[in-house]
Amino acid sequence: MILTVTLNTALDITYRVPSLRPGASHRVAEVTERPGGKGVNVARVLAALGHEVTVTGFSGGATGRILRERLTGVPCLTDALVPVSGTTRRTVAVVDGRSGTTTQLNEPGPVIGHAEWSAFQEVYEDLLAAASAVALCGSLPPGVPVGAYAGLIRTARAAGVPTLLDTSGAALRRGVAGRPDILKPNAEELAGLTGSHEPLRATQEARRRGAGAVVASLGPEGLLAVTGEGRWRAAPPRRLRGNPTGAGDSAVAGLLSALVEHRPWPDRLARAVALSTTTVLSPTAGDFDRAAYEELLTGVTVTGEATAA
């Protein structure tokens, strides 16, 4: 079982409008509503790939109830969310049909009390006993310690479970000190962590800060990985136009699925790039176009070299 942690779950609402104009009234052409938060998106992709996955984190209020109802019955996915007194946040994505761009509005999330945080840690430790890997994803809701991810990574390491961290800001700066097995920032997050805008230099610096491997998302240019086994770049054969929301989460799912299957790094990166690229063809995060994925996978270019033994 793969465990995904989403401390700040969300109900993702996507509006599609013909053309987004600031200050104007709009008629919404299409509305979709899905369980969200980065780790939940990762879990849905993993489940679609056939991996048994368990979702944990926090859920509360009317929004949380809707989120959990929407997770019920998803094949291969188990809900282990911890209830809280606050209300799960909503995120709103507005997709401009003319330009293809997406405007994202993210609520902050419920305030988590000390007893709720302690209850989550107990659930997390219990779930690790059956986990083959853990993804720790997304922002921290108010009330959760800024060093939470570092502590959760150390707990997983003590249980012998590899970890992947995908977060930003202070949570990323503190979390990397926990020494995750894989760190998966995008270019902006990587620059914020290291102060460098040169991808290779920044990726190497992030690894020196404690990560076992760093896989940087470079948008349509693919992925750059610096690991203890070597360094590689992976790029899609072509760019697909669509909604990029959730592409990074699909990359995480690709990395984790190939990790637990004991695939070599080039295969992990090819899968991650193919999944993230074809996610833009889906209207919501946590989905990907399977036919496009299988076709694109064979065309992903992976260059680089393994470190000499």
Active site members: 249
Angle at which helices 247-260 and 38-48 cross, to 10°: 50
Query: Which of helix, strand or coil describes residue 303?
Result: strand
**Alpha helix segments (H runs only) across 52-198:** 61-71, 114-128, 148-158, 169-175, 187-194
Other beta carbons within 10 Å of 122: 10
Tokens of 142: 């108010």
In the block, residue with structure tokens 């977060």: 167
Query: What is the C-alpha to C-alpha distance for residues 299 and 63, in angstroms, rounded to an integer?
Result: 41
CA angle, 161 then 162 then 163, to 5°: 115
Query: What is the C-alpha to C-alpha distance for residues 288 and 144, in angstroms, rounded to an integer?
Result: 32
